[in-house]
Structure 1
Amino acid sequence: MAGYRDLLRTPGVARMIAAQLVARFPNGMMSLAILLHVEQQTGSYGAAGIVLAAASVGQAVAGPITSRWMGAWGMRRVLSLTLAVCVLAVLGLALLPLNLPGYMVFALLAGLSTPPVQSAVRTIYPKLVNAGQLTPLFSLDASLQEIIWIVAPVVITVVSTQVGTVQGLLLVAAILVLGGAWFILSPEVGRVRIPRSRRAFGLVVLKPPVMLATVIGFLLIGACSAVEVGVVATFGHGGLEAGLVLAVFSVGSLAGGLAFGHIPIGPWAMARRLLIVTVGLGLTMVSLNIFWLGGTLVLAGVGIAPALAVLFAITTASVKFSETAEAFGWAGTGQLIGAAAGSAVAGILIDQSGPTGAYLAAALFAFVGLVVSIVFVRAFPDLRDRDPSPHPDTEPIQTARI
């Protein structure tokens, strides 16, 4: 913890972490807010699911594009533009008398215009700290983001069910404005300039570490989404049990990230972390007792934030600084698609074999991620004795001796 205290004393680090957490807080609220509002307005969970899918498609498509724009137009300009459009789209969902196609259009627009805060902040981090602090910073970031997934769903559920779904969406819009403004106006966002990338759009994802980060992110988040569906199917929507079990899952991730964030990242780091996740998720199928599930999910959670930290570090260390934001955009798209795939597969297996099917899906997603990390271990950069910062965009020029 002393290392984390020193890290947070580094100028700008604590402010950036806090500002990006608040700016991204609506990410943990938006899906539930849209789902509850559209279901109430249309009386159909099917319609709500279609609208939610439109928002997810928008986010997945836009991630790499808006992230790359930051190198061409500047971070503040892109973040401000996307923030303004996203807020207007959320207000449209809340206040306009829409039919199903109208909800889909505004949800798609909200997804397409989601501000690329995650790509921006992880591009800024290497400019705030020295090489030795970067891996612990990524681990701290991955750990603290669990706060979003613990608190945000509870807040939006309480507001939407006890006050109203319109007020829930208005709360999302308000936090978008406040958090986005805080992040955009932070001095570090103005100081860090991303050079324009000279490579064609999409080529960065073909780099083996970036491809691995995208694929394993897809599988890891797919496992987490399957767990969420399984827990809800096990305990239902009405009781506290589902929320408590999912909370301890996130607490395990938070604890794991803080405990193991200082460990140097070698080629086998991802495999070791995913082994913990796979074992924990595999044990969930033994019993659906709340205490057993809570314990096994804490174990699985211990590996999640450390695994995400590895994904962030290998992405940063394998690209030029001008490519960092786009690379994180592709990784984010992989995670969004993984979330949708995990939920879908879990839902199908629940229909066939009950809640245990969802935990089977989660364990299989994690196991495939483990296999990928073992088979392609040589593609993981060894960062134990290497600066994990992005490569500079300027390279030395050889001159002839006279």
Structure 2
Amino acid sequence: MAGYRDLLRTPGVGRIIAAQLTARFPNGMTSLAILLHIEHVTGSYGAAGLVLAATSVGQAVAGPVTSRWMGVWGMRRVLTLTLAVCASAITALAVVDSVLPVYMGLGLVAGLSTPPVQSAVRTIYPKMVNSRQLTPLFSLDASLQEIIWILAPVVITFVATQVGTVPALILIVVILIGGGAWFILSPEVGRVRIPRSRRSFGKVLAKPPVLLATVVGFLLIGACSAVEAGVVSTFGHGGLEAGLVLAVFSIGSLAGGLSFGHIPMGPWSMARRLGIVAAGLALTMVSLNVWWLGGTLFAAGIGIAPALAMIFAVTSASVKFSDTAEAYGWVGTGQLIGAAAGSAVAGLLIDGVGPQGAYWAASGFAIAGLLVAVLFFRGFPDLRHRDASPIPDTEPVPTIT
């Protein structure tokens, strides 16, 4: 923990972490708020699901595109434009009384214009700290983002159910604009200039570590989404137990990231971290008792933030600086698709065999991720004796075998 304290004393680090967490806070609120609002105005969860699907498709498509644009037009311009369009689309969703296709169109626009804050901040990090601090910074970032998933759903559910779904969506817009402005106006965002990439769009995925990070992220987040569906199915939408168990899951991730995420990373590190997740999720299938699920999910969560930290670190260390934003965009897209796939597979199994089917799905995703990490361990760079800084654009990109 002393290393993290030293890290936060570095000028600008605490501010940029707080700003980006605030700017990304709506990410933990928007899907749930749209679901509740569209169900309220249409009376159909099916319609709400279609609007959510359109939003998710927009986010998945936009991630690498808007991230790459930051190297063409600059971070502040792209972030400001996407922020304005996204806030307008969510506001329209809240106040416009229309038909399902219109809601789907607005959801798609909101997804396409989601500000690429995550790609931006992880591109900035290597320019803010020395090489020794970069891996701990990625770990701290992966750990603290759990705050979003612990608090945001609770806040938006309370507002939507106690005040109304329209105020809930407007609250998202307020936080989106306030947090986004704070991040955009941060000095670091203005100082860091991403060089224009010389590679064609999508070529960065040909780098084995980036492809592995994208695939592993897809499977890891798929497992987490299946867990969320399973917990809600087990205890019900209104059950206090569901919120508490999911909070414990996130607290496990937070604890794991702060305790172990900074450990030097070798080619086998991803397998070890995913092994913790897979073992914990496999144990959930023993019992659906609230205490058992809480304990096993806490154990599984210990590996999540460290695994995410490694995803961010190996991505940064394996590409030129001009390609980092697009690479993180692809990694984010993989995670979004994983979230949708995990929820879909878990939902089908819940309908077929009951809540325990979701935990089967979660374990399957986690075990698949572990197998990928084991079978392709040589594709992960060895960061035990080097830092996670991007490759300077003036140097050739080494081939990793």
Q: 1 CA distance for matches of 2:253 and 2:21? A: 16
Residue number in structure 1 paired with 2:9: 9
2:345 pairs with 1:345: yes
Residue number in structure 2 paired with 1:94: 94
SS, match of residue 209 in structure 2: helix
Q: 2 CA distance for matches of 1:354 and 1:309? A: 33
**2:139 partner letter:** S
Q: 1 CA distance for matches of 2:127 and 2:314? A: 16
Shift of 1:347: 0.5
Q: 1 CA distance for matches of 2:261 and 2:130? A: 16
2:159 pairs with 1:159: yes
Residue number in structure 2 paired with 1:377: 377
Residue number in structure 1 paired with 2:136: 136
Q: Where do 1:44-55 residues align within 5 Å?
A: 44-55=44-55
Q: 1 CA distance for matches of 2:205 and 2:98? A: 38
Per-residue displacement from partner, 1:107-131 (whole Å, max 9, x unpaired)? 0000000000000000000001111
Q: 2 CA distance for matches of 1:17 and 1:170? A: 24
Q: 2 CA distance for matches of 1:276 and 1:100? A: 43
Deviates more, 1:248-257 or 1:387-396: 387-396
Q: 1 CA distance for matches of 2:315 and 2:40? A: 41
Residue number in structure 1 paired with 2:61: 61
Per-residue displacement from partner, 1:213-265 (whole Å, max 9, x unpaired)? 00000000000000000000000011100000000000000000000022100
Q: 2 CA distance for matches of 1:136 and 1:73? A: 30
Runs (5+) with no aligned partner, structure 1:
397-402
Per-residue displacement from partner, 1:62-102 (whole Å, max 9, x unpaired)? 00000000000000000000000000000100011121001
Instruction: Tell me, yes or no, if the aligned pair for 2:135 and 2:387 is still in contact at 8 Å.
Output: no
Per-residue displacement from partner, 1:319-346 (whole Å, max 9, x unpaired)? 0000000000000000000000000000
Shift of 1:277: 0.2
Matched residue pairs, number? 396
Residue number in structure 1 paired with 2:333: 333
Residue number in structure 1 paired with 2:267: 267
Residue number in structure 2 paired with 1:72: 72
Q: 1 CA distance for matches of 2:395 and 2:219? A: 35
SS, match of residue 25 in structure 1: helix
Residue number in structure 2 paired with 1:400: none
Residue number in structure 1 paired with 2:360: 360
Instruction: Tell me, yes or no, if the aligned pair for 2:278 and 2:367 is still in contact at 8 Å.
Output: yes
Q: Where do 1:24-63 residues align within 5 Å?
A: 24-63=24-63
Q: Among all aligned residue pairs of Structure 1 and Structure 2, give the percentage whose two residues are the same amino acid.
A: 78
Instruction: Tell me, yes or no, if the aligned pair for 2:57 and 2:108 is still in contact at 8 Å.
Output: yes
SS, match of residue 169 in structure 2: helix
Per-residue displacement from partner, 1:292-329 (whole Å, max 9, x unpaired)? 00000000000000000000000000000000000000
2:114 pairs with 1:114: yes
Q: Tell me the C-alpha RMSD between the 2 structures.
A: 0.6
**2:106 partner letter:** F
Q: 2 CA distance for matches of 1:78 and 1:295? A: 43
Q: 2 CA distance for matches of 1:26 and 1:340? A: 18
Residue number in structure 2 paired with 1:208: 208
Shift of 1:150: 0.3
Moved over 3 A (4+): none
Residue number in structure 2 paired with 1:299: 299
Shift of 1:381: 0.2
Per-residue displacement from partner, 1:264-297 (whole Å, max 9, x unpaired)? 0000000000000000000000000000000000
Shift of 1:352: 1.2
Q: 2 CA distance for matches of 1:214 and 1:15? A: 28
Residue number in structure 1 paired with 2:22: 22
Q: 2 CA distance for matches of 1:77 and 1:301? A: 37
Residue number in structure 2 paired with 1:178: 178
TM-score by length of 2: 0.98
**2:197 partner letter:** S
Q: 2 CA distance for matches of 1:221 and 1:235? A: 21
Q: Where do 1:164-313 residues align within 5 Å?
A: 164-313=164-313
Residue number in structure 1 paired with 2:389: 389
SS, match of residue 29 in structure 2: helix
Q: 2 CA distance for matches of 1:65 and 1:206? A: 17
Q: 2 CA distance for matches of 1:192 and 1:363? A: 41
Q: 2 CA distance for matches of 1:179 and 1:54? A: 24
Shift of 1:394: 1.2
**1:319 partner letter:** V
Instruction: Tell me, yes or no, if the aligned pair for 2:273 and 2:307 is still in contact at 8 Å.
Output: yes
